[in-house]
Amino acid sequence: MANRRIRPVEPGDIPHIKLVAEAAELFPGDMLDDMIEPYFKRTRRDIWFVCLLDDKPVGFGFCEPERMTDGAWNLLAIGVLPEHQGAGLGREMMAYLEGRLAEQGERVLLVETMSTPALKATREFYRKSGYAEEARIRDFYEDGADKVVFWKRVSNR
């Protein structure tokens, strides 16, 4: 069995994150440099983390605090290379993030996704991870593609 661990992102992880982002169809890899720059400069409180199998990044996540809230965070991206999906890595990454947020005294984690048939498994993943569908904004992304917001309390501070 492969050695698994999750840790904060390091600069050397960027090429691997780009590969995961593209393979998991999250966003184009060339967007990553601008997205992650504030994390390395410490100009925002973002959380970036990678999931390693035998010390090779095969998954990552990115979360930021919601503006004008007290302890609410939004998971903006989480992904695993397709060949490693279904092995529990996504759940481990969610548990890692929820634990970090709870340790920091944060209250709530939100996750947004689309209502399209292609993302049915993603919505089920969040439900199985203990998230409740809290809101739906009809035709948000385009006609027939609602924004679906999931919610979970991560601490009772």
Q: Which residues of 95-115 are buried (b: 16+ CB within 10 A; e: fewer)?
A: ebbbebbbeeebbbbbbebbb
Note down the domain range covering 105.
Answer: 4-111
Sheet containing strand 47-53, edge to edge, reads 4-8, 47-53, 56-65, 72-80, 108-114, 145-153, 132-142
Would residue 106 count as lying in a domain? yes
Calpha distance 148→106 (Å, rounded): 22
Would residue 150 count as lying in a domain? no
Would residue 128 count as lying in a domain? no
For the chain, how many structural domains are there in total?
1
pLDDT of residue 156: 83
Residues with Cβ within 8 Å of residue 150, at least 6 apart in sequence: 110, 111, 112, 113, 123, 126, 127, 131, 132, 133, 134
Residues of the chain where predicted confidence (pLDDT) is lower than 70: 1, 157
What CATH number does the domain containing 90 carry?
3.40.630.30
Would residue 14 count as lying in a domain? yes
- pLDDT tens digits for 47-68? 999 999 999 999 999 999 999 9
Calpha distance 139→151 (Å, rounded): 20
Would residue 154 count as lying in a domain? no
pLDDT of residue 1: 62
